[in-house]
Amino acid sequence: KQQAIEGAWHGGRVPFGYRAEAGALVTDPVTGPLVVEMYQRVLAGDSLYRIRKDWNARGILTTHGCAWSDRTLKMVLYNPSNKGVREYRPVMPDGSRAKTSK
């Protein structure tokens, strides 16, 4: 909980566009600009389908080393980390707090 309050990275899989450095997430100089590119293209009216086709043709891989799907692009697009937000027990649509494992 204290790490969440301080905005620190809690570990786990590093999101696309970032890298782990000294216990924190920092923008990756290679993939970070790709995240910016994706947001710019979506705002300009480009579809995830077109972005996916382009990125796969350019050989850009996911953090798993796989080709992109519309779903994985959408996960990056909606990742709270990309807007500078850290979630701790996020609120569910009904207003309750999400359960966390012990």
What are the pLDDT tens digits along the chain (102 aa)? 555 545 556 667 888 998 888 777 889 999 999 999 999 999 999 999 999 999 999 999 999 999 999 999 999 998 877 776 555 555 666 766 555 544
pTM across the whole model = 0.72
Angle between helices 32-43 and 70-77 (to 10 degrees): 100
User: What pLDDT is recorded for position 77?
Assistant: 92
Strand runs labelled E in 1-102 = 18-21, 24-27
What is the Cα–Cα distance from 65 to 44, expressed in whole angstroms?
A: 27
User: What pLDDT is recorded for position 85?
Assistant: 54
Domain ranges of the chain: 2-83
User: What pLDDT is recorded for position 102?
Assistant: 42
Q: Any idea what the Cα angle at residue 64 is, between residues 60 and 70, rounded to 5°?
A: 60
Alpha helix (H) residue ranges in 20-99: 32-43, 48-57, 70-77
